[in-house]
Structure 1
Amino acid sequence: MRRALHAEWTKLVTVPAQLWTLVAVAAVLAGGGALVAATQRPPVCPPGPGCAPPDTTALVLSGVYAAQLAALAVAVTLVAAEYHPRLIVLTLAAQPGRGVVLAAKAVVATGAVLGTALVGVAGALTAGRAVLLTRGFTGRGGRGLVTPSDPAVLRAGAGTVLYLVLVAVLALGAGWILRQQAAAAGSVAALLYGPFLVTRIVPMPDRVLHAVQDASPMPAGLAVQSLVPGAGTAPLGPWAGLAVLAGWAVAALAAGWLLLLRRDG
C-alpha cells in the first residue's frame, strides 16, 4: 500500500495544473467568503419573528459553491487522466491489486482536498470576520459577527471541509465509472448544481421542494453550514444532510470499484 500511495502522490504533485487546482480550493474559499461578506449590511430590525437576519457564517463559507469545482476536478483527473492514453494499464501492471490502486487514489485525492479545504475554511472564517467588522456587524454566530471559537461556527466550518472531501469521493467514483475527464466532471457538476438550480427556478409545492432538497447531494450536504433556523439549503439537520451526500459518494465509489474489477480486472 505504501508503494501505491507514493506513486499516486507523485502523480499528483508533479503535475503543475493539479497543484494550482488545489491552491484554487483554498483561494476560492477564502476569497469568496471575504467578497460575499463585503456585500452585507447589519440587519436594521431587532431579532424576532418579523426579522430575518443574514446567516453570516453560511455567507462567509459560500465560496464552497465554486471551490467544489476545483475539488472534484482534482479527484476526477487523478483517475480519468490515466485512461487517455491508456496509462492505467501500466498502473495496474505495477500494482496488480485493483483495490489497492483505488484505495491509494482515494487516500491521496481526499487527503489533498482535506488539507487545502482546512486552509480555505480557516481563511474564509478569519477574513469574513474581519470584513464583517468593517461593515458594522456585532453579536455572535449566524445572527451577526462570525466567531470562529463559537461551537456552532466550528461545526459549520468542519462540515464544509467534510463536504468538500465527500465531493472528491463522489468525483473519484465518477472518474472510475466514466473514465473520461470531461464526462465525469460534467456529470458530477450536473448532479451537484442541477437539483439546486431547479429548486430555485421551478415553482413547486413545499412538500416536493423539501423532498428534492433532502435527496440532492449539494442542498442536503450544505445544510451543515446553516446556523439560522430555516435559512439552510435543505430542511435536514447538519449531519443528516452530510449523510445524504456521503450516501451518494459511497454509492459512486462502489460502482466505480465494481466496474474497475469487471473492465480492467
Structure 2
Amino acid sequence: MNLTPVTWPVAAEWTKLWSVRSTFWCLAGTVAVTVLSAVTLGGSRATDLVRDGVAAARLPATESVVSASTFAQLVMVTLGMLAITSEYAAGSIRGTLQAVPIRGRMLAAKALVVAPVMFATGVLAGGLAAVATYLMLSVPVFGGFVTLDAGETVVDLLRLGVFAALVSLMALGVGTAMRGAAGALTVVFMLLFGLPLVLLMTGSQVAVEASMRLPMFAGLAFMESADNLTGGPIPYPPGEGLAWLLGWTAAALAAGHTVLRRRDA
C-alpha cells in the first residue's frame, strides 16, 4: 500500500496506539465503568419506583446508560490524553515531530485515530451496558419497568459514541497544551466534572446557567438525559448541547495546537 504524506502519519499513529498496553486498559476501563454505572443507576431508579408503589412506568435501559456517562467520561478521556502526554513523558515526541515536522498535521493524525476508536468504544460500552441493565432489571423484584426499544437504543448509542469521541478529543487538546499527564488530568477533571458541580452547588442562577454550558451537561443535553445530577432534563435542546460540546472540543484542540507550534518539544 502506498501511503501519502497525509495518510502515513495517521497509519503511524494507529500503529503506536495499538502497540502499548495502556490503550487496552483505557478501553476496558471505559466499558467496565459504563456497564457497572448503568446497572447501578438503573437498579436504583427501578427500586425507587417499586418503593413508591408505581404501578406502571417505562424505564428505558439506555436512560441509565446515558446517566452513566457522567462517570464513564472520566475514563473515556484517558486515551486521548495519553496519546500525547505519554510521548512527552518518554521523550519520543522528538522523534514524532522529526518524522512529521508539520505539527498541526501530527495533532490531526492523532485526532483522526483517537476519535473513531473512542466512538466505537462508546457505542460498544453503551450497548453492553444497555443489555446488562435490561437483563438485570427484567426480573420481577425490579418491577418489570425496563424497556429496550431497538430504534431508541440505536440513537442513544450513536449519541454516546459521539460524546465519547468528542470528550476524548478535548482531552487530547488539553494534553497537548499541558504536556504532562498529571496537569492534563487535573484540568480535564475540573472541566468535565469538578467545575460543573461546584457551579451547580452555588445555587446562583448565573452560575447554574454557566454550569449547564460546560462539557458534561452539554453532552447530557445532546444525549437527552432525563435523569442526571440536575434532577431532570437539561433545559435546552440536543442541538444546542452538541454545539456547546463541539465548541469546547475545538477550543481545547486550538489551545493544544497553539502551544505545540510555539514551544519546543
TM bin (shorter chain): 0.7 to 0.9
Structure 1 residues 83-105: Cα deviation after superposition (integer angstroms, max 9, x where no partner): 12432111011122222211111
Q: Report the equivalent of 2:83.
A: 78
1:1-265 → structure 2 map (5 Å cutoff)? 1-39=6-44, 40-41=46-47, 42=49, 44-45=53-54, 57-134=62-139, 135-138=142-145, 145-151=146-152, 153-204=153-204, 207-208=205-206, 210-226=208-224, 228=226, 232=232, 234-264=234-264
Measure the CA separation in 1 of the matches of 2:254 and 2:193: 22
Equivalences, count: 252
TM-score (norm 2): 0.84
Measure the CA separation in 2 of the matches of 1:19 and 1:100: 25
Measure the CA separation in 1 of the matches of 2:136 and 2:223: 19
Measure the CA separation in 2 of the matches of 1:2 and 1:125: 36
Describe the SS at the equivalent of 1:63: helix
Aligned 8 A contact 2:76 2:164 in 1 = yes
Measure the CA separation in 1 of the matches of 2:100 and 2:263: 16
Measure the CA separation in 2 of the matches of 1:202 and 1:29: 28
Deviation at 1:36, TM superposition (A): 2.2
Q: Report the equivalent of 1:141.
A: none
Structure 1 residues 118-146: Cα deviation after superposition (integer angstroms, max 9, x where no partner): 110111111112222222233xxxxxx23
Measure the CA separation in 2 of the matches of 1:154 and 1:200: 31
Unpaired runs of at least 5, structure 1:
139-144
Structure 1 residues 197-252: Cα deviation after superposition (integer angstroms, max 9, x where no partner): 22453233xx4355123321111211233364995463121221121111000011
- RMSD of aligned alpha carbons: 2.6
TM-score (norm 1): 0.84
Task: Return closer, same or farther for 1:231/1:158 CA change in 2, 3 Å cut-off.
Answer: farther
Give the residue type in structure 2 aligned to 1:91.
Answer: T
Task: Return closer, same or farther for 1:122/1:94 CA change in 2, 3 Å cut-off.
Answer: same
Deviation at 1:173, TM superposition (A): 0.7
Measure the CA separation in 1 of the matches of 2:233 and 2:187: 21
Q: Percent identity?
A: 31
Task: Return closer, same or farther for 1:252/1:233 CA change in 2, 3 Å cut-off.
Answer: farther
Structure 1 residues 9-40: Cα deviation after superposition (integer angstroms, max 9, x where no partner): 22211211221111111222123212322232
